[in-house]
Chain A
């Protein structure tokens, strides 16, 4: 049987410098990272790409994530820093779009946007559901069944057994004259 899994410890011998994200990133601070992306956007080739993406009605968030993924994949910055600087980069792309007079969409949820829920829709259409009876039926308190007095299964009036009865139950009473274990065998007349 051929074992295709790696040998334990193989990762310690592998050359991890093959990929850019295996090495420490070049930029680790906020402002230099924003500056790097802004400079890249200002690059003639990159700015053409940004403008072309705006022309095809791509959302600003999509453009930003494309630019940031490029920077992460080339090892320029770590992925967490890329997420942090997404806001300033998006704002810069927005300014470019405004400057060029391009219609744009940020691609994020507007804070003033009203989320349409089924309840809101019913209210708008005037569909009012009858309110369910919310009055809770007062539950009757559970009453413990009264002790049945009298009868065969009834509780005896006096709960405490007499001392004689207790002795008898504990085996302290005089042994009965006849041993109950020994039963008299009926005489077989046959």
Chain B
């Protein structure tokens, strides 16, 4: 797998709402700040339009 392929896969997983859970455990505060929800909120603030919620909800199930 090349770097470009790995980047694509990582983007795909993030857009599905998946986060590296083990990474949060070793984070300083125990949680990650730049989550999919954070970017949804940022988009809503910048663009003023609600973001499709199906991305995160499907993953939570």
Residues of A that sit less than 8 Å from B by CB:
29-31, 34-35, 60-62, 64-65, 68-69, 79, 83-88, 90-92, 95, 98-99, 106-109, 111
- Residues on B with beta carbons closer than 8 Å to the beta carbon of A98: 43, 47
- Residues on A with beta carbons closer than 8 Å to the beta carbon of B50: none
In the complex, residue of chain B having the shortest beta-carbon distance to the beta carbon of A31: B33
Query: Knowing A65-B7, A88-B14 touch, does A31 contact B34 (C-beta < 8 A)?
Result: yes
Cβ proximity bits B22-44 to A, threshold 8 Å, 1 near / 0 not: 01000110001110100100110
Q: Kindly identify which residue among A69, A99, A108 contacts B15, using a CB–CB cutoff of 8 Å.
A: A108
Check B39 against A95 for contact (C-beta < 8 Å).
yes
- Give how many B residues have a beta carbon under 8 Å from the other chain's beta carbons: 26
Check A61 against B14 for contact (C-beta < 8 Å).
no
In the complex, residue of chain A having the shortest beta-carbon distance to the beta carbon of B20: A84
Q: How many A-B residue pairs have CB under 8 A?
A: 79
Cα–Cα distance between A61 and B47 once the two chains are bound (Å):
22
Known: A31-B34, A88-B34, A109-B12. 20 other contacts (CB 8 A): A29-B27, A30-B20, A35-B34, A61-B7, A61-B11, A62-B4, A65-B4, A68-B7, A83-B6, A83-B7, A84-B23, A86-B11, A87-B14, A87-B15, A90-B15, A91-B36, A95-B42, A99-B46, A107-B8, A108-B11
Check B23 against A30 for contact (C-beta < 8 Å).
yes
In the complex, residue of chain A having the shortest beta-carbon distance to the beta carbon of B43: A95
Cα–Cα distance between A69 and B4 once the two chains are bound (Å):
10
- Residues on A with beta carbons closer than 8 Å to the beta carbon of B12: 108-109, 111
Check A86 against B10 for contact (C-beta < 8 Å).
yes
Q: Kindly identify which residue among A62, A83, A92, A109 contacts B39, using a CB–CB cutoff of 8 Å.
A: A92
In the complex, residue of chain A having the shortest beta-carbon distance to the beta carbon of B32: A30
- Residues on B with beta carbons closer than 8 Å to the beta carbon of A34: 33-34
Q: Kindly identify which residue among B8, B36, B43 contacts A61, using a CB–CB cutoff of 8 Å.
A: B8
In the complex, residue of chain B having the shortest beta-carbon distance to the beta carbon of A81: B23
